[in-house]
Amino acid sequence: MYSLLRPLLFSLDAERAHDATLALLRGGHRLGLVRQAIEPLPVRAFGIDFPNPVGLAAGLDKNGACIDALAALGFGFIEVGTVTPRAQPGNPRPRLFRLPEQQAVINRFGFNNLGVDALVANVERARFRGVLGINIGRNKDTANEDAVRDYVHCMERVYPLASYITVNISSPNTQGLRDLQQEATLRRFVEILRGHQERLASQHGRRVPMLVKLAPDLDTAALDGVAAAMLAARPDGLILTNTTVGRAGVEQHPLAGQAGGLSGRPLMGPATAVLQGMRDRVGDELPLVGVGGITRGADAVAKLAAGACLVQCYTGLVYRGPALVRDCVEAIRARRA
């Protein structure tokens, strides 16, 4: 079905196509037209049992408004957000650009979302009872020195509903956010959140894992520092990676000069290199989730070979549709055989 819809969607402005896709998914799901049955391929990570290791990355469903329809596509887990304490419009439009020749996207959304209360209401309405990650961030007008309060507020609101919580400090589209990845700042920041995580676990009688999502634009020294900070602060896992500010692989494209994060096929190499670099540094101490550039099943297998226990897709779905989920699961199944 997606192969029939794709030409229509690609005839629209990229952000309008994004919104139309979610609307079509919701409508199709209500009519019983959205379903992709995938044979289980169980995996256990950070204390959670996943029906298969292929998940949806954050960003597609920022407000948690399409959880049930997305879950029907066969994902082993769904991650919604990024959500911030207060609603915010994000950056001015246009802010989403397709590069079809490279199977890539550039976005500078800027954490546009309806706020954490709206997301919580949507999650509470959803019927999905599988593995749900909720990705949290800070508001654009919150200074980094005050950012921890935004993350704590979001954590407290989503904690009862989340299977795991992702701390997003790596989007390139919120000014200064990536400064939180500097070693000393990062360690203290994550240690504070870990303290609140344990307090909430005691309060709710249930421990929800906390993951940290990192950027691909880390050189050797930065990787050393981030790995040291993570081994000291001990989150439950890391997600590698977010989008890149680099333009390798698309330098000659007319849209290459657009500000924002690049995702899709050109990100596969850099993101996987950072994933491998982090695995080399943390060993088996921290579970890693591989995301960035997956456009075929072989890419998912390459993420696992580089040290991931789970993978996530987003931009590849723009070009491949739901078939990508099955392709990844079956490629991983064949690798296990």
The residues annotated with a catalytic role in the active site are 171
Number of CB atoms found within 10 A of residue 73's CB:
21
Cα–Cα distance list, 147 to 91, 230, 252, 317, 320 (Å): 19, 18, 37, 32, 36
Report the amino acid identity of residue 295.
Answer: T
Report the amino acid identity of residue 128.
Answer: F
Pairing of β 210-214 and β 237-240: parallel
Could you give the CA distance from residue 225 to residue 229 in angstroms, rounded to a whole number? 6
Closest CA to 159 of 136, 127, 128, 184: 136
Pairing of β 132-136 and β 310-313: unpaired
Could you give the CA distance from residue 92 to residue 295 in angstroms, rounded to a whole number? 28
φ, ψ (nearest 5 deg) of residue 136: -120, 150
